[in-house]
Structure 1
């Protein structure tokens, strides 16, 4: 059973009951770990003749270590360190270049920084630590860089023509940071999440809370996220928060604050519009952890409000497994469910900023 949800005041939800097929919304993600285990500052290590990383010379490893050291000095979390290494790989192959290119003949150094005064002197740009420090300071000034795709965050600093130029260097950046860092961090959950693993099943924290139909008059039926308990949208928004590293109040993403234009995220009907308003990517390829969006009537979804779910597993035969809440008819509505769906049935897949591969 789907309903239109709108925030009234701070957290009050006004439901509009709609009859039709029952579906749920859940964003299947890797369960978040305690803050101490999440991706944190990476610590650079000294690189000597015994340090080996397949595919990289000692010169490249020393330059990568200089970037990590600069990031650590500026309290840059590991995701930022990876972005910095990714950009250096994309700009110079992790080498201090004393030449530019057609687009920037005065570009120099690891980050191919221009001779326009913004990046210091020639010697600054040719110094791995100083040039990395200047890049990182510029990255830290990008509003919300932690939530952007790595290649987009890098492009906000470098302003090169192709915002996805750095995307192919991300796996190697992760590899280098992990290899050269003494800091222990997880790539699952939190700001450094790399989607690709399914969630832990029904770990929704309010699974025993009353639905709006079960609650008596005046009873609280809205979760801390501003959605009705045990609805598809509430479960999905929980997963969005979870994968983005927000697992307890105050949650980062709420029904009433998700969109930058001030409108509520609302029912399943408006989720793609909410993604568009936020500038987050959508596409037609299922990725583990992506929100599955059904337009009204698509795939048997409610003809008025549609449906949302989350990709739990992607199979090789053109199907994926989705999970969610409120996806079965009574008496099993408002409970956790999973089902296998053809990739072509949903109207769109809604990606998180940390997810790549949107085509």
Structure 2
């Protein structure tokens, strides 16, 4: 780790490839800083994901007086039928929301007796095809039966609980755009919560959704001393195993937060992130760490994904690179990244945001709940 800092463009301006980011963040183990970070890392097969706890199934009771703004009684009854089918099959609250989301995206929560150009034989709430997989015509037109068949198919998708909701729905429906359902997720959450007989939240659970990462500088250790203030030999590390207020510590905090771990003991640590127990390390080694863990990477910014700059890329430190987090994706070919230690002194080791062109970073490192939009 070097104490040299490099100038950056002002916050809010797109970072050009020639612009220097501040130095890459240090890791907890000084020995790695002395050279091991440059070693070739052995990439192991990915570990099997743990089963997620997505909360208990919820049930609903509605009558003619039940109202949700923007929805008719017919739509509410259909939503209740979907939630009820999930309850019968012990589907979690998140699974029930996914089911309602898909029905919103396919039919607007209406039992349609017609299909479309891509599927003229599609029928019902879920636009299920007449291919034998979804039962008879009567089954597809019945809200409870069609929902039951959808739920069974969803439960048959390996690891669906850890997928982003739209991706889980797409694994069942197999429509052309895996992100077709994304815009219906907020309404699905609203409907299930409004019709539920119990209050609940996905925040802080194993099924927290990437992209809901907090607001601004919520890093828990923002006032802790940096290694520059205490000296590398006596510096303290955060509960995540990284030096306080470095880019890697903030990024690993965001990973934990998005995966539902917001207090000690944290799920993802510098020393235990990789299945081979090698340290996740400095920014230089994060792409290799993702590969070793079997988590996806790509070239498309996704809210909540880690932004990885190889050494020298986009003005990153020539020895250690840099990591940040995608805060917002814009329509003009840029995204807003957030992070720590991305500005020159005296604003180093603090929170920053900046707009960046999508082509500048070396890669985007996704959580296991995300994948690149093709």
TM-score, normalised via structure 1 length: 0.70
The correspondence for 1:201, drawn from 211, 215, 218, is: 218
Provide the alpha-carbon RMSD of the alignment: 4.4
Q: CA deviation at 1:301?
A: 2.5
Deviation at 1:50, TM superposition (A): 1.6
Aligned length: 325
Alignment of 1:14-163 (within 5 A): 15-17=32-34, 40-41=55-56, 43-163=58-178
Cα deviation code 1:109-162 (max 9, x no counterpart): 211223333333333322222221221222122222222222111111111222
Counterpart CA distance in 2 for 1:14 and 1:117 is 61
Distance 1:199 1:3 in 2: 20
Match of 2:338 in 1: 322
**Structure 2 spans left out of the alignment, 5+ residues:** 2-23, 36-51
Summarize the Cα distance change of 1:13–1:144 in structure 2 as closer, same or farther, 3 Å threshold. farther
Change (3 A) 1:302 1:281: same
- How far apart in 1 are the matches of 2:156 and 2:275? 19
Counterpart CA distance in 2 for 1:52 and 1:141 is 33
Unaligned runs of 5+ in 1: 7-11, 19-34
- Is 1:214 the counterpart of 2:265? The answer is no
Whole-Å Cα distance in 2 between the matches of residues 94 and 282 of structure 1? Answer: 35
In the TM superposition, what whole-angstrom CA distance separates every residue of 1:299-353 from its partner, at most 9, and x where no partner exists? 54320320113467899xx9957333697779x98xx521343434962655546
SS in 2 for 1:170: helix
Aligned partner of 1:341 in structure 2 is: 354
Q: TM-score normalized by structure 2?
A: 0.68
Deviations 1:165-201 (A, max 9, x none): 2223223222222222232122534314352642663
Change in CA separation of 1:137 and 1:258 when aligned onto 2, cut-off 3 Å? farther
Instruction: State the SS of the aligned residue for 2:56.
Output: coil
Deviations 1:186-240 (A, max 9, x none): 2534314352642663315996899994269xxxx98876x54545334422320
Distance in 2, Cα, partners of 1:312 & 1:116: 42
The answer on whether the counterparts of 2:99 and 2:150 sit within 8 Å (CA) in structure 1 is yes
